[in-house]
Structure 1
Amino acid sequence: MQDYQKRLSLNVLAYAVQKNTDPAQLCHLSGIELDTLKSESSPSLTVQQINALWLNATELSKDSFFGLHFGESLQVAALGVVGELIRHSQTIGEALTQAAAFSHLITDLLTMSVNRCGQSFTIQFIPSAENQASSPLVFRQMMDFFMAFTLHEVDGLILQKIRPISVRMPVELADLPEYIRVLRCQSIQNATDYALEFDSRFWDELILTADYELQAVLLRKVSALDEAHTTKTSLSERINNFLLANAYLGVPTLDAIAANLNVSSRSLQRKLQEEGVTYQQLTDSIRKSLALHYLQTGQHPVKEVSYILGYNELSAFNRAFRRWTGTTPVSYQKGQLL
């Protein structure tokens, strides 16, 4: 399945480069390998890596409106098959409805809701509470991006600059002129929610690239991707993948991993029990794999490996390693370096 979040991250990187940002430095600061980002077969980026990418792109580009300007410049083709489905919808209303239905394939940050009422229709951007609290700066940049991107891509579908009737979003008075320019709306209300309101006459506007037969094919393809995306792997596998992907951050506590998965610690323990495994067993397996890897490379002394894996005392690491392998970390490392 195509990784749309990674695809969007690649476009973040490409836009940052246009703003005279060094891609190698940006990836390094964000804990991302550039080759990994470009490879479709590599693991998905973690939430931390995506957030770091946006944060560092904003800082290195020296553009406090990075997300807003990125949304203004990105083309719908960057969304792959989802973008193609939008382009080949029959009308603006249909395209926006499709975009809202599959927005979760693009981002975990928000969901979209499209509502038509009387003389207008409204696109609401509903943020995830978890992401909103994680990093206010990153959150603002990403919300700015999605609002600007949605508005400017509608233009490309009908070759007409559409102006919203009103915009609702949190905005500082000093920033208002730039939001007015990019969002093309004088009526920007400082609010706690995020919404674009349009005249209803645009709802049935025909899209220039509309192709009903191709749309049907694309819709089947996107629906299949959506089904694959929402099919849950086992909880233990998801945790194992998360721990491996975030190995550079150390091994988190049960409470920390539960918070990341948006469940209670007790619920997490119960679900793992149902799969016949404990969190301790999962972390032990990860620690063993990482310990063997770090010791085999010979680049880290035993004490440093112990610290990386979250052991407060070297003696505790020694006991765990002997339990895993029947020997001590020092003896194992010496044997690997002979």
Structure 2
Amino acid sequence: MPATVLAALPATLLATLARLGRDERAVRARAGIDASALSDPDARIPFAVHARLWEEIAALGGDVGLELGERLGTAALGVVGHAMSRAETVGDAWSVLERFRRLVLEDAVPRLHVEHDEAHVVQPLPARFARLRHPAECQAAATITTLRALVGARIDARRVAFQHPAPPSIAAHLALFGTRDLAFGAAVNELVLDASILARPNVRADPALRDYLVRRAGALEAELGDDDRIADRVRREIAAALASGEPSADALARTLGTSSRTLHRRLAVEGTSVAALLDETRRQRALALVEDPARSVGAIAFALGYRDATTFTRAFRRWTGTTPGAWRRA
């Protein structure tokens, strides 16, 4: 079943563009989106349409991703965002997002893990977004501004990393994230914060309303059915894990709450394997990343979980019959 996204997300992006003084109607038209398709925030639109919208937004240039992220608010996540805004704590709000990630857009919802006193918000993005700067910057900006809104105070990041090369100026990034520990060309898109923020209370908490909205989100999720194949879930987990190295079948199985043996058996029923999905995911992302001439072969290899550039180049030649450098020059 083709991937879809909650209509609230593209609708809020376009509305925010209009508030920024941009011609949102022209952007929407170029993306091929009918306004009526966005009238119901709980509706679904094809991911391919959402991706076209982001490509048109990226073409606007400047710091449009940051500008959008600062202003989107939780409304961009529809009923899930409204439930988050009424959660009791920041940690509770994040658990709502994690629970309903499939309802929003499975491949693009940030993943949170805590290491010692740090909360790491890792931002996997669909392969089609890999060569675009602005979706990653929008997501990071939206994350930190949402957290600030929840606690009712300014909080700053400890460090921020983006996979894309640095833009001509990073002044807006420094001002927004409040840290000078800002990296570009990194292996992963990541926002690192003080973990204590997860326990902080939400200044607009309303437990009863939160529970009502969670039930509504659950009903919408149930309407999606259970069409998600295990292969699709494995692809998503591989994409999220690659920057930390090549994920093993055992690690993937643990993440998916099953055993390695069961995972292999279920994938075999669908006519595939962990190795095949890993290779497919790497190939798709490699072809997107290599289009960006500012990314070195070594940086691409690292982002795809390879030990070194030589191993990546060997794989790229197997996929395409040529080297990354020759592919770029063709």
Secondary structure of 2:62's counterpart equals coil
CA distance in 1, matches of 2:214, 2:134: 30
Question: Shift of the alpha carbon at 1:121?
Answer: 1.6
**Among 105, 117, 140, the residue aligned to 1:147:** 140
Q: Give unpaired runs (5+ residues) of structure 1.
A: 235-262, 269-338
Q: Which letter does structure 2 place at the counterpart of 1:33? A: D
| Partner of residue 189, structure 1 | 183
Deviation at 1:114, TM superposition (A): 1.4
Cα 1:74–1:39 shift into 2, 3 Å:
closer
Structure 1 residues 90 and 174, CA, compared in 2 at 3 Å: closer, same or farther?
Answer: same
Distance (whole Å) between structure 2 residues aligned to residue 40 and residue 127 of structure 1: 22
Query: Is contact 2:5-2:47 (8 Å) kept?
Result: no
1:61-210 equivalence runs, <5 A: 62-128=60-126, 130-132=127-129, 136-137=131-132, 140-170=133-163, 171-172=165-166, 174-190=168-184, 191-210=186-205
1:207 deviates by 0.8
Structure 1 residues 53 and 92: alpha-carbon distance in aligned structure 2, compared to 1, 3 A threshold: same
CA change 1:203–1:233 in 2 (3 A) is closer
Partner in structure 2 of residue 232 of structure 1: 227
Aligned equivalents of 2:117, 2:100: Cα separation in 1: 26
Q: 1:104 to 1:182 in 2, by over 3 A?
A: farther
Distance 1:227 1:18 in 2: 34
CA-CA distance at 1:120 after TM superposition = 1.8
Measured on the aligned residues, the alpha-carbon RMSD in Å equals: 3.0
Cα distance between partner residues in 1 of 2:100 and 2:178: 26
Report the Cα distance in structure 2 between the residues aligned to 1:154 and 1:33, rounded to whole angstroms: 32
Deviations 1:77-107 (A, max 9, x none): 3423211221121211221232233233222
CA distance in structure 1 between the aligned counterparts of 2:210 and 2:151, rounded to whole angstroms: 17
1:10 and 2:11 aligned:
yes
- In 2 relative to 1, CA 72–189 (structure 1 residues): closer, same or farther, beyond 3 Å? same
How many Å apart are 1:58 and its aligned residue?
3.5
Aligned position for 1:211? 206
Taking only the aligned residue pairs, the percentage that are identical comes to 19
- 1:108–1:64 Cα change, 3 Å: farther
Q: Whole-Å Cα distance in 1 between the matches of residues 42 and 80 of structure 2?
A: 19
The residue identity in structure 2 corresponding to 1:146 is: Q
User: Aligned letter for 1:52?
Assistant: R
Aligned-partner residue type, residue 212 of structure 2: V
Deviations 1:272-327 (A, max 9, x none): xxxxxxxxxxxxxxxxxxxxxxxxxxxxxxxxxxxxxxxxxxxxxxxxxxxxxxxx
Partners of 1:70 and 1:115 in 2: how far apart?
25
TM-score with structure 1 setting the length: 0.60
> How many pairs were matched up?
229
The secondary structure found in structure 2 opposite 1:151 is helix
Q: Tell me the residue number matched to 2:289.
A: none
Deviation track 1:180-222 (CA, whole Å, cap 9, x = no partner) reads 2222221112312011111122221111122223323322322
**Is 2:103–2:221's contact at 8 Å kept on the other side of the alignment?**
yes
Aligned CA distance change for structure 1 residues 224 and 107 (closer, same or farther; 3 Å): same
Q: In the TM superposition, what whole-angstrom CA distance separates every residue of 1:226-245 from its partner, at most 9, and x where no partner exists?
A: 233352299xxxxxxxxxxx
Q: Secondary structure at the match of 1:121?
A: strand
Contact preservation (8 Å) 1:104, 1:110: no
Q: After TM superposition, which residue ranges in structure 1, 4 or more long, deviate above 6 angstroms?
A: none
Q: Which of the two has greater helix per residue?
A: 1
Gaps of 5+ in 2: 230-266, 273-330
Contact 2:90–2:200, Cα closer than 8 Å, also in 1: yes
- The answer on 1:51 being equivalent to 2:67 is no
Q: How far is 1:225 from its partner?
A: 2.3
Q: Which whole-Å CA distance do the structure 2 matches of 1:6 and 1:209 have between them?
A: 25
Q: Which amino acid aligns with 1:223?
A: G
1:127 deviates by: 2.5
CA contact (8 A) 1:88 1:215 kept: yes
Equivalent position of 1:33 in the other structure = 34
